[in-house]
Amino acid sequence: MALSEYVIINKSALESNLRKKDWSVVCELLRISITTFNTVKNERVLTPDDAETLGRVLREAVLHAGEDPSAVLPAATECLRLLRNGCANAPGFQAAVRAPCLEATRGLLARLAEREDHQPAVLCLRTGLQFLGNAVVGCVENQVLVWRDFSGMLINFLEFHDEKVVNFAAMVIYNILLGCPNAMSGIETHGIELFESLIGHAMKDSEFALFTLELFLRREGFLPDVYGRLGAEHRLFLLAAAHGMLGEGRGGPPTRSVAFLAGRLKQGADDILGTCEERSVDRPEPREVAGLLELVASASGQSPYLEHLQQDTSLLVDCLFLLRSMHGLGRSGDNCFAPVRKLSELTVSSRSADVEEHPAFGFKAGLVRLLANLCWRNRANQDRVRELDGIPLLLDCCNIDARNPLIIQWAVLAVRNLCEGNAENQAVIAGMNRQGVVDGAVLREAGLTLHQGGGDGKITVIPHELARASEPV
Instruction: With CA atoms as reference, report the closest residue to 35 among 6, 4, 8.
Output: 8
Cα separation, 226 vs 235, in Å, equals 9
> What pLDDT is attached to residue 187?
80
450 - beta bridge partners?
Answer: 461
Cα separation, 412 vs 418, in Å, equals 10
Mean pLDDT per 10-residue run, the chain (473 residues)?
63 93 96 90 77 96 87 96 94 95 96 85 97 96 95 93 94 94 79 91 94 93 93 95 82 94 88 56 70 96 95 95 87 72 57 68 93 97 97 90 89 94 93 60 52 55 56 43
Residues 6+ positions from 199 with CB-CB distance below 8 Å: 209, 213, 230, 234, 237, 238
Residues 6+ positions from 116 with CB-CB distance below 8 Å: 122, 160, 161, 162
How many CB atoms neighbour CB 203 within 10 A? 16
Residue length, the chain? Answer: 473
Cα separation, 379 vs 260, in Å, equals 24
> What pLDDT is attached to residue 140?
95
> What pLDDT is attached to residue 215?
93
Instruction: With CA atoms as reference, report the closest residue to 123 among 77, 65, 80, 170.
Output: 77
State which H helix or E strand residue 213 sits in: helix 207-217
> What pLDDT is attached to residue 109?
96
How many CB atoms neighbour CB 346 within 10 A? 16
Instruction: With CA atoms as reference, report the closest residue to 200 among 187, 184, 183, 213.
Output: 213
Cα separation, 185 vs 181, in Å, equals 8
Q: How far is CA 33 from CA 29, 53, 85, 129, in A?
A: 6, 12, 11, 20
Given 3-state DSSP classes, what are the helix, strand and coil percentages for the chain, each rounded to the nearest 5? Answer: 70, 0, 30
Q: What is the DSSP string of 73-90?
A: HHHHHHHHHHHHHHHTT-
Residues 6+ positions from 56 with CB-CB distance below 8 Å: 15, 18, 100
Task: Give 48's DSSP letter.
Answer: H
Backbone angles phi, psi at 15, to 5 degrees: -70, -35
Cα separation, 170 vs 296, in Å, equals 29
Q: What is the pTM of this model?
A: 0.81
Q: What is the DSSP string of 453-470?
A: -STT--EEEEEHHHHHHT
> What pLDDT is attached to residue 228?
92
463 sits in the region (left: phi over 0; alpha: psi -120 to 50; else beta) called beta
